[in-house]
């Protein structure tokens, strides 16, 4: 599915390669975490798969194609099978949620009927049912990321690349996003995700490819964030949340949490507070309180040194923030609902909708006497000629059937809906 053969990437003006003689294969349906210190080459790895960058040496195959032999003109076609999600969401700010997701499909020329069925279905899948009309600034960070994921998967890509998709999100929301990505992967999509989130990697136990200074220094199945026991087990992290913090969080959890129930929210809030504590400990102020001292200890223990292979020194892999705990991952409610329609059903529905919304050519002399019985004609019965057909030839089938007022919006218009007109 994805294969790197002796791939080196050296950016112009850089002496040291961002990726150095990489050889790796990712199979169909895998969920792979790319981990490594900042600057180790994770984003470069993803950009090469996307053909946003070219390797300086070596060859890359994605979905059976040698990327070196895909012409620039054909790159957009190649990318139709890939979805991408970034840390900063990259939504179109002046477009609604619906339009952000529909945009991908419009660009690749999907029919209007297909878009009308695929976009709501995908928004439902990512837990954004009913939010299609919102603008991005009216959404939370987690919701914006779900829009970005919806946009990435709406075309049913075979591969989903995610570059720090939870980097800007709080722990509970991050857990929800991971539940969603896990679900997308369970549906057969290969997922490759670069992350610094130790909690997520430790909890999910998927394949981990670790980069250090452009080299692959670890490639393990069902692995954790760090390769050595120095990692503080995520379970211990949660257990370390003091009771008084949980009690305080229960007091403040209140109602209105949509993603988790109140108890889970309370526990998560407490864990969040605990997770944030290390940054306090890292500040210039001395650790005066018991909580700060505990946080400081934790912060030190979370700087996970990774055992160097043989004698080579290796950059330590450290989590950016000890955010997501196993409890959050387990308690996070699925944001999706089961898609009820198979591809065949969706395609059939799209065809029917497209037929109902497209204008029809009616040759002179075809159709019934009252014109209302006129149907799309292949011209075979040109001799049953209604004079009145001319009067309705410009109408869509939906208009003829009384499903929509004549003269309403047409193909390509934004808000057209098929339905009773009164
Ligand atoms: N466009 C570029 N031009 C020059 N050097 C680059 C470019 N992009 C990345 N680099 C360099 O390549 C190396 C790998 O960068 P890359 O962004 O792939 O790392 P990363 O592991 O994704 O880092 P982070 O975790 O901080 O996102 C770094 O030394 C970086 O400075």
Q: How confident is the model at residue 249 (pLDDT cuts 50, 70, 90)?
A: very low
**Cβ–ligand 1 contact at 17 (below 6 Å):** no
241 and 382 together in one domain: no
Query: Which residue, judged by its Cα, is nearest atom 7 of ligand 1?
Result: 11
Residue 3, φ and ψ in degrees, nearest 5: -135, 125
How far apart (Å, rounded) are the C-alpha atoms in residues 58 and 252?
A: 55
**Cβ–ligand 1 contact at 11 (below 6 Å):** yes
125 and 67 together in one domain: yes
**Structural domain boundaries enclosing 255:** 234-302
CATH code of residue 26: 3.40.50.300
Query: 11 C-alpha vs ligand 1 centroid, how far in Å?
Result: 9
197 and 239 together in one domain: no
pLDDT digit string (tens) for 93-116?
Answer: 999 999 999 998 998 889 999 999
Domain limit, last residue, from 193, 220, 247: 220
279 and 380 together in one domain: no
pLDDT digit string (tens) for 142-188?
Answer: 999 999 999 999 999 999 999 999 988 888 888 988 999 999 999 99
366 lies in a domain?
Answer: yes
25 and 133 together in one domain: yes
Based on the structure, what is the number of domains in the chain? 3
* Closest-lying ligand 1 atom to the alpha carbon of residue 19: 14
What ipTM did this prediction achieve? Answer: 0.98
**Cβ–ligand 1 contact at 41 (below 6 Å):** yes
The pTM score is 0.63
86 and 122 together in one domain: yes
Query: Which residue, judged by its Cα, is nearest atom 25 of ligand 1?
Result: 38
168 lies in a domain?
Answer: yes
Give the pairing of strands 65-66 and 57-62. Answer: antiparallel
pLDDT at 394 exceeding the cut of 60: no
Domain limit, last residue, from 220, 246, 279: 220
Query: 111 C-alpha vs ligand 1 centroid, how far in Å?
Result: 39
Query: 18 C-alpha vs ligand 1 centroid, how far in Å?
Result: 6
**Cβ–ligand 1 contact at 122 (below 6 Å):** no
277 and 168 together in one domain: no
334 lies in a domain?
Answer: no
**Cβ–ligand 1 contact at 14 (below 6 Å):** yes
Cα 209 to chain centroid, rounded? 20
Residue 26, φ and ψ in degrees, nearest 5: -115, 130
297 and 402 together in one domain: no
183 lies in a domain?
Answer: yes
Query: 138 C-alpha vs ligand 1 centroid, how far in Å?
Result: 32
204 and 88 together in one domain: yes
173 and 253 together in one domain: no
Higher pLDDT, 65 or 321: 65
Query: Which residue, judged by its Cα, is nearest atom 30 of ligand 1?
Result: 39
Higher pLDDT, 312 or 216: 216
Higher pLDDT, 409 or 212: 212
> What residues are paired with 3 via a beta bridge?
25, 61
Query: Which residue, judged by its Cα, is nearest atom 2 of ligand 1?
Result: 11
DSSP output for 166-225: TTTS-HHHHHHHHHHHHHHHHTT-EEEEE---HHHHHHH--EEEEEETTEEEEEESS--S
pLDDT at 285 exceeding the cut of 90: no
pLDDT digit string (tens) for 340-390?
Answer: 444 454 455 455 545 554 544 445 444 433 433 333 333 333 344 444 445
193 and 242 together in one domain: no
- Give the mean model confidence (pLDDT) for residues 300-310: 39
* Gyration radius of the chain over CA positions: 27
149 and 24 together in one domain: yes
pLDDT digit string (tens) for 129-142?
Answer: 999 999 999 999 99
How far apart (Å, rounded) are the C-alpha atoms in residues 30 and 25?
A: 11
225 lies in a domain?
Answer: no
């Amino acid at each position: 599915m994805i294969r790197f053969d002796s791939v080196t990437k050296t950016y112009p003006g850089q002496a040291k390669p961002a990726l150095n003689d990489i050889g790796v294969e990712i199979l169909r349906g895998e969920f792979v975490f790319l981990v490594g210190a900042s600057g180790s080459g994770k984003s470069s790895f993803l950009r090469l798969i996307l053909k946003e960058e070219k390797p300086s040496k070596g060859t890359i195959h994605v979905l059976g194609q040698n990327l070196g032999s895909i012409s620039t003109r054909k790159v957009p076609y190649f990318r139709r099978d890939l979805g991408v999600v970034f840390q900063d969401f990259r939504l179109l700010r002046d477009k609604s949620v619906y339009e952000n997701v529909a945009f991908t499909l419009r660009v690749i020329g999907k029919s209007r009927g297909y878009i009308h069925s695929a976009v709501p279905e995908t928004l439902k899948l990512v837990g954004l049912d009913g939010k299609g009309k919102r603008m991005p600034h009216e959404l939370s960070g987690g919701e914006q990321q779900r829009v970005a994921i919806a946009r990435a998967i709406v075309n049913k890509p075979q591969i989903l690349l995610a570059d720090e998709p939870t980097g800007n999100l709080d722990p509970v929301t991050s857990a929800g996003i991971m539940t969603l990505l896990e679900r997308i992967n369970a549906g057969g999509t290969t997922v490759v995700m670069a992350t610094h989130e130790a909690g997520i990697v430790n909890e999910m136990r998927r394949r981990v490819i670790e980069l250090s200074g452009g080299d692959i220094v670890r490639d393990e199945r069902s692995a954790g964030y760090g390769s050595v026991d120095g990692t503080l087990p995520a379970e211990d992290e949660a257990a370390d949340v003091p009771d008084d913090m949980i009690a305080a969080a229960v007091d403040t959890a209140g109602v209105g949490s949509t993603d988790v129930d109140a108890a889970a929210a309370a526990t998560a809030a407490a864990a969040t507070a605990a997770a944030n504590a290390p940054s306090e400990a890292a500040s210039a102020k001395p650790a005066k309180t018991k909580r700060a001292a505990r946080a400081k200890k934790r912060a030190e223990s979370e700087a996970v040194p990774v055992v160097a292979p043989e004698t080579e020194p290796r950059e330590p892999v450290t989590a950016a923030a000890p955010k997501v705990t196993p409890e959050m991952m387990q308690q996070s409610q699925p944001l999706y609902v089961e898609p009820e329609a198979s591809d065949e059903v969706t395609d059939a529905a799209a065809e029917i909708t497209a037929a109902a919304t497209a204008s029809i050519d009616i040759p002179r002399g075809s159709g019934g006497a009252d014109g209302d019985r006129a149907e799309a004609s292949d011209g075979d019965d040109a001799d049953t000629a209604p004079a009145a057909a001319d009067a309705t030839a410009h109408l869509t089938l939906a208009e003829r059937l009384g499903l929509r007022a004549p003269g309403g919006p047409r193909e390509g218009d934004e808000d057209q809906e098929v339905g009773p007109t009164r």
